[in-house]
Amino acid sequence: MPTAVILMNLGTPAEPTPTAVRQFLREFLSDPRVVEIPRPLWMAILHGLVLPLRPRRIAPAYREIWDRSADGEPVEGSPILYYTRRQAELLQEYLSGQRADITVTHAMTYGKPGLEETVAHLRREGFGSFLVFPLYPQYSATTTAAVYDQVARLYRNNRDIPDITLVRDYYRHPLYIRALANSVREHWRKRGAAEKLLLSFHGIPKANIAKGDPYYRQCCDTAEHLAAELELGEDRWQISFQSRFGKAEWLQPYTDKQLIEWGGQGISSVDVICPAFSADCLETLEEISVENRANFLDAGGKDYRYIPALNLRPDHIEVLATIVQEKLPENRQ
């Protein structure tokens, strides 16, 4: 039976307008995996404060990143959707010479194209076996588990249940660590190494870790393996967490505060990489590359460089292809 590989990422508004951003945020922030505040309270906050105010505030940030990559090259529309679609196309090319019975496509957890519609289309095309590949190297209930929920709904809503395999995580896969290290080394060859390398991961509420989420441990594991691969001493690198939302305490140190602290301490140059992101998006192109650049420079820093996500790098496609081959049903142990 032919197998369909579905690369999945978080999602994006359909266009950089307040209306489209509101529609996306409504779906995204209504997921109890994303926000674990008691539902009646959170729904009141979401519909009373967040959705009326936040889309108008962040739509301009989406307009800033629309149609462009981290290095300024043009892309088509939303970067995260563009990169995920191109990753699927390049992965298809990589695997085609080895497996004629595999088709690669993409879907988004929130927004379009969705997993349910993608699987329905593929089943009409004759596919009965699926490998769902969330492009989150580090597992979290706030991201990867949301994909598991969608797969569970597919099982619950279908009498003829397809064969579905999920990739849970790949935070310490040797090829993933090597690809990250290669991207850093190539950046250093072009621009020289900064005084500090900051490894900024997307944050989650600290309370989630106390409830059993393995995300923090996996982020630390990735960071330590990358630092070891780069042969960096402890004084050369730091882990941090970005994109906090709301008033609760999130994983620390916070990226913005760490950069401000370094700038104030006289650290003149910093390289920043975001290992949790398989594709550049709002959180890297705007928050990291623009907002946190200003934080560091305003605090006294001199040179701030963002190292793009792995995106379409050939060694990244090799990582994805290797994991797919390891997880195919006939190769599962």
Whether the Cβ atoms of residue 293 and residue 304 lie closer than 8 Å to each other: yes
Q: Tokens 């191109």 map to which residue?
A: 86
- Tell me if 3-170+314-331 shares its fold with 174-307: yes
- 187 annotated as belonging to a binding site for a ligand: no
The pLDDT value recorded for residue 332 is: 59
The pLDDT value recorded for residue 333 is: 52
Q: pTM for the full model?
A: 0.95
Residues with Cβ within 8 Å of 242's Cβ and at least 6 positions away in sequence, in order, are 200, 201, 202, 203, 254, 255, 256, 274, 283, 287, 288, 292
Count of all residues that appear for the chain in the document: 333
Domain boundaries, the chain: 3-170+314-331, 174-307
Q: What are phi and psi of 6, to 5 degrees?
A: -115, 105
- Per-residue tokens: 295: 């934080």
What is the CATH number assigned to the segment(s) 174-307? 3.40.50.1400
The pLDDT value recorded for residue 72 is: 73
Match domain 3-170+314-331 to its CATH number in 3.40.50.1400, 3.40.50.300, 3.40.50.2300, 3.30.70.270: 3.40.50.1400
Burial of 12 (0-12, 13-18, 19+ CB in 10 A): buried
The pLDDT value recorded for residue 160 is: 86
- 283 annotated as belonging to a binding site for a ligand: yes
Low-confidence ranges of the chain (pLDDT < 50): none
Residues with Cβ within 8 Å of 259's Cβ and at least 6 positions away in sequence, in order, are 198, 270, 292, 295, 296, 299, 301, 304
